[in-house]
Amino acid sequence: MKTKWMLAGFLLVFGATAHAVVTVENTIAAQVPGTKTVTIDYDVSSDFSADVTITLRAFEGEDEVVLSSLSGDVGSGVAVGSGKSIVWDAGADWNGRHTSGLKFIVLADDGESTTPIPVAGMVVVPAGTADGTDPDFGAYSLTMESSLYVDETETTKRVWDLVYDWAVTNGYAFDNPGAGITNSHPVTTVNWYDCVKWCNARSELEGLEPCYTVGGDPFKSGRQIPDLDINATGYRLPTGEEWEYAARAGASTRFFWGNQITYDEANYFSVATCAYDTSTTRGFHPDHGPDWPYTFAPGTFAPNGYGLYEVAGNVAEWCWDEVVADGGRQQRGGSWIDGAEFIRCGSGFSQFPSQADIYSGFRSVRDAGVSVSGTAVTLVDARDYTLAIVSLVGAPDPSAGFHIYAWGSSATCSVDPLMVVSNTTYVLKGWTGSGSIPAMGTAATTGLVPLTEPDSTIVWSWVADNDRDDLPNDWELEYYGSETGAVATADTDGDGYTAEQEFVLGTDPTDRFSQLNLTIEPTVDATVVVSCSTQPKRTYRFEYADSLLAPSWTLLKVQDGTGLVEGYEDTSGTPGRYYRVLVQSAIGTTSFVWKSRPDTDGDEMPNDWEMAFFGSETGVVASADFDDDGYTNLDEFRLGSNPTNSASHLNFSVAAAGGGGALISCSTAPGRIYIIEYTDSLSPVAWRLLGGFAGTGATGQHEDADFALGRYYRMRVIIPPGVEP
């Protein structure tokens, strides 16, 4: 039997529970954008005391995070009331680390010994009432009279086995031994009786009072419906109302994250007929392994507001409640085999308690006493977000160099579009970016850019163009003997292409045989091949139209230039089709310079660089150290130093600074980024970002004001995308 049903709040009342002495509610944690500080807001009340002692604890999984740098409403003497706030300086205690889900627990103590102790692997879901209106099930009201410890994740096969192995040697008899893909995956193929007995065994193993009894004795064997002592200290299955209260975490939407679902949020079976299922593919989750059941290890998907993982999908979770008169028991949350409609917060299943399936699992709960703690989960990112600015001329904002930000920061990068330096006019042709910066652009500003990646670079691309005709000085000098000698609209060689067009195409404006050479040729297979000569550092778009009266050009292929003839075969067999090729010069979008830098021998050292220093385009051994300065020839190319001069190299040094710190310096070359890292130990090594700068051709320096004896430094040199070394 697997009867599916829906509910918005399945209510069972088990009688009176303890009255709260002190209550923590409305706990919310969030990192402040642009900083490394986290605020934890909460409300606290007490029936008998005007002030309480507040303790904040944090956990990453089962590992507790040391919180030393706290300020605000924390410690002793905190007045009860609403709008309390704690500020944690993660940059001081947790610098360089990040997680999508750090769990914070606010503990309040009024001296009545009512504060629950945090339990590893469990979260405290506070008592209270949650009212709302579900888009599918309407108004609901969910009440938890007492706070509960709730397993953070579905019970894994490893945890199941630890208790099961003890239980079978201590008087317990199960119907099923449990199964799972690996020990780290949820246990499956367990029925309701198995889960109830297991909760009792876990309670006894930990010295707690079992919740389930038969005739006054702990329920250990057979298929009876035991009595439930809701006030016992041991483990049990949640009621349906408790499960939904915990799963929603205050949300009144279909799912705890919102009203739509994709594979990014849960492990389920996607179908096209469900309007709010917006996954791009259908069927089982595309990232599962080859083995049945198609479960994921707990913690794969983001937790809800209470820090509970996989309350939607993965495995359906057994609950205590009897649902129908024939003895069916409730399951909640849906599984990897269920569609989106069955993993909504308000959905459920009815199963015979004796039924064990590959989609059935569970998580257990424990009484946490009165509501004296609040739990909240948030992203915490204490990494340095770096932005390197490279500009050979101009006055960019931020300035050229290496800038350090915090998570959530945004930056606007801009520069003057025209600069005159030493009687040479430089025209901005755009920029290239990496990390958070968009790949490329042609404007003199990026607009506001959120820094979402830890390492970002923007390279402003300039062309020396004294007459501002979009023909670079060196190109005009090469072909016309003067930096201002070309007329952009003139066709010098009479081949039908102007000087400007020849520059864009990469052809020789003084040779009429150097041109695009676009050809359209039929084949014996009734197809058409469109081809043209190509040049490096250019992009070729092959397009077609079926009419020239009102042409609508459709893309066939995008081809990067190679220096060879490239083409596209149109196999559509459509007669009367028209073709064209659009050429985009890479200048201003992907490179500083309009010329390519061929590397005939494929050793990562361009021909012109090898020729300049060694007199041959292919005669250099990359791994050799020609000048015996400790750097290979390839190292010297990457560093921008002279491979034939032993005095020209990185010159990395660390010296005492005037203020008692350490001064790290090195020689630099334009177009490179120099990143300084440090570690306070070589066993183990933990390199951390210190700072950096963009190369200028002069010596770059950075001071470590926090220098400590025994600190080690290293330098990393990066050639950003789009920079011609």
Residue 591: DSSP 8-state? B
Residue 17 scores a pLDDT above 50: no
For 245-298, what is each residue's pLDDT tens digit? 999 998 999 999 999 999 999 999 999 999 999 999 999 999 988 888 899 999
CB-based contacts of 44, cutoff 8 Å, min separation 6 = 22, 23, 24, 25, 52, 54, 78, 80, 81, 84, 106, 108
> Which pLDDT value is given to residue 596?
44
Q: Is the pTM of this model over 0.75?
A: no
**pLDDT given at position 393:** 81
DSSP 299-365: TSS---TTS---SSBSSEEEEEEE-STT--EEEES--TTS-GGGSSTTEEEEE-TT---TTEE---E
Residues whose CB falls within 8 Å of the CB of residue 131, separated by 6 or more in sequence, listed in order:
139, 140, 141, 142
Give 464 or 78, the one with higher predicted confidence: 78
Spatial CB neighbours of 261, under 8 Å, sequence gap ≥ 6: 254, 255, 268, 276, 277, 278, 279, 312, 340, 343
Q: Reply yes or no on whether the pLDDT at 319 is more than 90.
A: yes
The pLDDT of residue 63 is: 83
Using the structure block, give the residue that is written with the tokens 């919180």. Answer: 67
Measured in whole angstroms, how far is the alpha carbon of residue 511 from the centre of its chain? 52
Q: What is the pLDDT of residue 18?
A: 33
Examine the pLDDT at 369 and tell me if it is beyond 70: no
Query: pLDDT tier at 117 (50, 70, 90 boundaries)?
Result: low
State the pLDDT confidence band at 524, using cuts at 50, 70 and 90: confident
What is the band of 15 on the pLDDT scale with cuts at 50, 70, 90?
Answer: very low
- Tokens read off for 647: 């005095």
When mean pLDDT is compared over 69-83, 386-400, 598-612, the highest value belongs to 69-83
Give residue 74's pLDDT.
96
> In this structure, what is the dihedral angle of CA atoms 610, 611, 615, 619, given to the nearest 10 degrees?
40
pLDDT class for 588, splitting at 50, 70, 90? Answer: very low
d(CA 477, CA 207) in angstroms, rounded, equals: 89
The residue ranges of every structural domain in the chain are: 7-144, 152-367, 473-505, 519-585
Would you say residue 244 has pLDDT above 90?
yes
| Percent of the chain clearing pLDDT 90 (strictly above) | 49
Cβ atoms 331, 319 nearer than 8 A = yes
Percent helix / strand / coil, the chain, rounded to 5: 10, 35, 55
Q: Tell me: the pLDDT tens digits for 68-113?
A: 999 999 999 999 999 999 999 999 999 999 998 898 989 888 776 5
Whether the per-residue pLDDT at 6 is higher than 50: the answer is no
Whether 3 has a pLDDT exceeding 60, the answer reads: no
pLDDT at residue 431 is higher than 70: yes
Where do we find the tokens 């990112």? Answer: 381
Q: What pLDDT is stored for residue 266 in this prediction?
A: 97
CB 606 within 8 A of CB 617: no
Three-state secondary-structure class, residue 622: coil
Per-residue pLDDT, 11: 25
Cα–Cα distance between 676 and 653 in angstroms, integer? 11
The mean per-residue pLDDT over the stretch 415-420 comes to 91
Band of pLDDT at residue 538, cut at 50, 70 and 90: confident
Q: Please tell me what DSSP assigns to residue 160.
A: H
- Which of 10-24, 395-409, 448-462, 477-491 is the least confident region? 10-24
> What CATH class has 152-367?
alpha beta
Please state, in angstroms and rounded to a whole number, the distance separating the CA atoms of residues 463 and 470. Answer: 8
Give tens-digit pLDDT for 186-232.
999 999 999 999 999 999 998 889 999 999 999 999 999 999 998 88
pLDDT value of residue 54: 92
Q: Indicate if the alpha-carbon torsion angle 307, 313, 316, 319 is positive or negative.
A: positive
Pairing type for strands 360-361 and 316-322 reads parallel
Arithmetic mean of pLDDT, 595-620:
79
**Position with higher pLDDT, 3 vs 555:** 555
What is the percentage of the chain residues whose pLDDT exceeds 70? 92
Note the pLDDT tens digit of each residue in 608-638: 788 889 988 887 899 999 999 999 999 888 8
Amino acid at 228: L
As a whole number, the mean pLDDT across the chain is 86
**CA–CA dist 73, 79 (Å, integer):** 8
CATH architecture of 519-585: Sandwich (2.60)
Res 589 pLDDT > 90: no
Strand order of the β-sheet with 37-46 is: 22-31, 37-46, 81-89, 70-72
